[in-house]
Copies of this chain bind each other. A is one copy, B any other.
């Protein structure tokens, strides 16, 4: 991944001219604004503070070549990919980069490394793909003599695949595409496709309780973890994989989502599925967001959900149609048809089915009948195909938007079906108020993307003119307003982005002070010196 943004160098996703023109007009962007990241050589980086003897001890564990402190590597581990990260990276002020990056080759090496770091009170930041959008891999050094980033990319083995039981044991450092490639060779898939899929890792997914785009069908990562191995400074926890158990509190669930503060998740046994023979993605239209999510509720509670579902609200539909518009005759005809059906200004939904050919067809008909009964109009395969093509494109666009002086951020939550309208309105209002008050009125889009029998997630994308002099103040104000609105309106502070640094302040609103205390108690047991990923998850 390029050090200052998303994707590999050279993989640029440009904003179409018409989209840019529209955003310039609607957000009031300065047409002359054009900011680019500083050059790598200009990045301001402090000298590594890692003590030479500690460095030598670490090198004895992993080999000299795997303790790295060159500029490119330190910069590459200096931040995740949140909006504040991007702002910071592009500015080139990376005084907080890690003092070194250490690359263990096995769980046993992780154990020895953690012992060495605990002895020297060196902070350790486990690092998978570095795609956190909540500050989860920030190398926080406060109060520590040094901080190292523990890059897990060498833990890339497929330890076992059990075709009969449909489980696979994978090491933490496997990246999404490679994991799927290796599983596909065994005829199975994990089916876990977060938007960060190309650049995120198995360990990162487990450590952050990730949900993928197809998690309505395949299950969230926490539903897929059957066993795992966590290596902590004070010991190891290996949960033997069993399909279900009544053996007391579920310790596994204390480690899933622990975000590196309890130890390093080195491997996980995950539930997999047979590779789907068929995939069918299609678009649906609803007259309104309210009509659409009510139809999704009935569908989900009728056990008829597709594997992928997402329903855009009116604004997200308007903007994505405008951005994708080609002005063709077919498109005009399609719009005329929707207008006739009363769907003009309505909402687009994407539904996708994966599996055996005949099962996909059977489910598609069954689900289709429910969606139609709920007011939906089938738009055919084209919108589905377009969505599939662009499923990982979102993060690339942020870089292009930043180039043009736009502030763009996403955030997400989940709540019960009955509370969905309240929460939806409250978060939108909070963002609108916060940004309008600063003279940067936003565009706010939202979609439902994960369904549960009891509720659903809401995923917001919002854009505004960047306050170039105080971009982080602007971000902080909007983010805080949204988080406050979420916790005071019955939402979870995060449905799949995790806590990291950015949400830590709201964790106690979610699980109470005593709940937070229970995580602290676990941390004291596993990480008594407190070196593991400081500043994350737990409120200050």
Contact = CB atoms under 8 A, between A and B. Distances in A.
Interface in A232-246: 232, 234-246
Contacts of A74: none
A209 interface: yes
Interface stretch (A400-408, A433-441, A452-460): A452-460
Max chain B Cβ within 10 angstroms of own Cβ: one of A247, A251, A259: A247
A244 B220 contact: yes
A357 to B, nearest CB: 13
The 6 A-B pairs of least Cβ separation, nearest first, read A253-B253, A243-B455, A243-B452, A165-B416, A209-B246, A245-B492
Given A165-B417, A167-B454, A512-B237, A257 B248 contact: yes
Contacts of A359: 303
A246 B165 contact: no
A194 to B, nearest CB: 11
A271 B453 contact: yes
Interface stretch (A19-27, A30-38, A494-502): A494-502
A416 B162 contact: yes
B511 A162 contact: no
A510 to B, nearest CB: 5
B457 A244 contact: yes
A13 to B, nearest CB: 26
Given A512-B238, A525-B518, A249 B258 contact: yes
Contacts of A492: 240, 242, 244-247
28 contacts: A164-B297, A164-B417, A165-B418, A226-B454, A237-B514, A239-B515, A241-B416, A241-B454, A243-B415, A243-B455, A244-B455, A244-B492, A245-B414, A245-B492, A245-B495, A246-B492, A246-B497, A246-B498, A246-B499, A247-B257, A247-B493, A247-B498, A247-B511, A249-B255, A250-B254, A251-B518, A271-B454, A514-B526
Interface string A428-446: 0000000000000000000
A77 interface: no
Interface in A17-74: none
A522 interface: yes
Interface residues of A, number: 87
Contacts of A167: 416, 454
A420 to B, nearest CB: 9
Given A162-B416, A236-B512, A242-B455, 14 more contacts: A162-B418, A209-B246, A209-B247, A242-B491, A242-B492, A243-B453, A244-B414, A244-B495, A245-B510, A247-B257, A249-B258, A250-B253, A271-B454, A518-B522
Interface in A473-510: 490-499, 503, 507, 510
A293 to B, nearest CB: 11
Contacts of A450: 244
Contact of A515 (B211, B237, B511, B513): B237
A112 to B, nearest CB: 17
Given A235-B514, A236-B512, A518-B254, A498 B248 contact: yes
A251 to B, nearest CB: 4
